[in-house]
């Protein structure tokens, strides 16, 4: 059974204080790892897809990395507008496009 | 933003009544999905569709049915709503191609079953 574990459950940072969010996964053949951002009362917003170990992707203050067992979402010099819940999901081989999601990490950035 | 709308956006209903939620897309994507999101559980797949009239169950399908008669519309029906189905429901779409299989989500429907 595919599993995704995100840690910590919640993270509070001061503006400008860089940190990382973790997504550990167990999957029978990874076909993609996805990061989403979700603001309160809204649907998840796509951020990144990573397909193979060693791959990295960046967008503004965010950088996602991937190993064979986990992914990190690094946040550099965060701002209050980066406050949101960050979701990680995996797609396994043969999963017919289905995703397995973690429970999410709630990030709060104080000014 | 992906062209996905959900209706209604909010609904309050009573136990035992049938409820239908609608997802409409303007992207002509092949795949459509229904998820529910509950505190402590994350997003869980209810049903999905891989084409018109082609649907399959997800991990939490009991008590739910779906229909897809047109590419653009995917309906989720709660046959007889129960309090345990109080949740936020999200529709998602993807084009289903091998490389670009990102799922894009709608704004959600908040359902309260009394």
Q: Do A34 and B107 touch (CB under 8 A)?
A: no
Inter-chain touch A87–B42, beta carbons under 8 Å: yes
Kindly report whether the peptide bond that precedes residue B8 is cis, defined as omega within 30 degrees of 0: yes
- Confidence tier at A93 by pLDDT (50, 70, 90): confident
d(CA A50, CA A60): 17
Q: What is the pLDDT of residues B35-46, one digit of tens each?
A: 999 998 889 999
pLDDT attached to residue B42: 87
Q: Do A32 and B94 touch (CB under 8 A)?
A: no
Dig out the tokens for A91 from the structure.
Answer: 């797609």
* Ranges of H-type helices in chain B: none
Summarised one tens digit per residue, pLDDT across range A22-76 is 999 998 888 899 999 999 999 999 999 999 999 999 999 999 999 999 999 999 9
Distance from CA of B107 to the nearest CA of A (A): 5
Q: How far is CA A102 from CA A45, A48, A84, B40, in A?
A: 15, 15, 15, 10
Distance from CA of B79 to the nearest CA of A (A): 24
Cα–Cα distance between A91 and A100 in angstroms, integer? 7
Q: Is 60 exceeded by the pLDDT of residue A81?
A: yes
Which stretches in chain B have pLDDT values below 50? none
Please choose, from the candidates B9, B7, B12, B8, the residue with its C-alpha nearest in 3D space to the C-alpha of residue B85: B12
Q: What CA dihedral angle connects A90, A67, B100 and B3, to 10 degrees?
A: 60
Contacts of A97 in chain B (CB under 8 A): 31, 48, 50, 94, 96, 101, 103
**Chain-chain contact of B90 with A89 (C-beta, under 8 angstroms):** no
Gyration radius of chain A's alpha carbons: 13
User: Sheet holding A56-59: strands in order across?
Assistant: A3-7, A19-26, A70-75, A62-66, A56-59
């Amino acid at each position: 059974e595919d599993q995704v574990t995100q840690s910590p459950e919640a993270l509070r940072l001061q503006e400008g204080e860089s940190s990382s969010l973790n997504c550990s996964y167990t999957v029978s053949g990874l076909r993609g790892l996805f990061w989403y951002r979700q603001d309160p009362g809204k649907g998840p917003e796509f951020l990144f897809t990573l397909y193979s170990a060693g791959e990295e992707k960046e967008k503004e203050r965010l950088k996602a990395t991937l190993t064979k067992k986990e992914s990190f979402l690094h946040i550099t010099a965060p701002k209050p507008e980066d406050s949101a819940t960050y979701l990680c999901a995996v797609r396994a081989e043969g999963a017919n496009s289905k995703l397995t999601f973690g429970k999410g990490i709630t990030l709060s950035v104080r000014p | 933003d992906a062209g996905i709308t959900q209706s209604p956006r909010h609904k309050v209903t009573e136990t035992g009544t049938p409820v239908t939620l609608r997802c409409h897309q303007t992207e002509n994507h092949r795949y459509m999905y229904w998820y529910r999101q509950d505190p402590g559980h994350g997003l869980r797949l209810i049903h999905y569709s891989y084409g018109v009239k082609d649907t399959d169950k997800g991990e939490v399908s009991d008590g739910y049915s779906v229909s897809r008669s047109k590419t653009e519309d995917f309906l989720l029906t709660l046959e007889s709503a129960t309090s345990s189905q109080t949740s936020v429901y999200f529709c998602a779409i993807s084009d289903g191609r091998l490389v670009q299989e990102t799922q894009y989500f709608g704004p959600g429907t908040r359902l309260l079953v009394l």
